[in-house]
Amino acid sequence: MERWAKNWDDLISVSLILDTFGFYDLQTFQNLFQCIPEASKKISAHLVWRTDDEKRECTKTFILKGLSNLPSNSDSFNCSILDEQNELFNSTLSNPYPPNSLRNIAREGATTNFHLISDIENNFSQNSSKILSISATKYIRENDKVAVIVRKFEYNDTYSEPPKTVNDLNELMKQKQAFEFHHFTYSKAHKIAGLEAWLNYSLTTNSSPSVKSVTYQMPMEVKNHGSNAF
């Protein structure tokens, strides 16, 4: 989250799912949020929890009760999460994690005109918010049925810092330390054509943002919702 706040030069909408064991993590998130100057200016957080299966009522009782059971914040809180990492984030959800629901809640809670949907483990290159804003403004407003697709990569997690530029990414790919997203899981479903041409263009000095049309590769990529949902 700290990396997002410092590297993404725009507003960020985050959804957090809570169960009974997640309130200490929430308190730490709140404290760390206060320790990151960029966070208070950019990040809005939206709490998500499951309703009682029997009552099917959505109330604040679960959240208020969970927060009331927490000890009060200490004035000596250390902004370094490394001091507490052995105690934090060790619990797992009691129910399956609902990724699409959380993404949609973050999207609905966003205050920007354009949304880049992402998960917490993703990182962004330098100036990506500015580049994407230019592309979105130019292409999406001309045709509401258009979505700008962003290339996604994965890299060896032994590196403490993700590649921040295309040059960094290219070097890792040459070393077989970075690949297209889900290269080892199901590369065919995530591959975007023209990678070599994209790299060559992006590595060119003073190249400007460019968008090229791509077609659906498989029937599973097309979803007709009958509404404006996406």
Distance between CA atoms of residues 17 and 204, nearest Å: 42
Per-residue pLDDT tens digits for 36-94? 888 888 889 999 988 766 666 778 888 888 888 887 765 556 676 555 555 555 566 76
Model confidence over 16-35: pLDDT tens digits?
Answer: 888 888 888 888 777 777 78
The per-residue pLDDT for range 101-124, each reduced to its tens digit, is 999 999 999 998 888 898 888 888
* Contact between residue 111 and residue 44 where contact means Cβ atoms under 8 Å apart: yes
The pair of three-digit structure tokens given for residue 211, joined into one six-digit string = 């968008």
Report residue 5 CA to chain centroid gap.
Answer: 11
Q: What's the mean per-residue pLDDT of the chain?
A: 81
Q: What is the pLDDT of residue 224?
A: 61
pLDDT one-digit tens code per residue, 147-163: 888 899 999 988 878 89
- What is the per-residue pLDDT for 110? 93
pTM: 0.77
**Per-residue pLDDT for 201 more than 80?**
yes
What is the arithmetic mean of pLDDT over 125-144? 81
Distance separating alpha carbons of residues 206 and 8, to the nearest angstrom: 21
Per the DSSP assignment, residues forming a β-bridge with 141 are none
Burial of 176 (0-12, 13-18, 19+ CB in 10 A): exposed
Alpha helices in the chain (DSSP H): 2-7, 23-35, 37-42, 61-68, 99-109, 128-139, 166-174, 183-190, 195-202
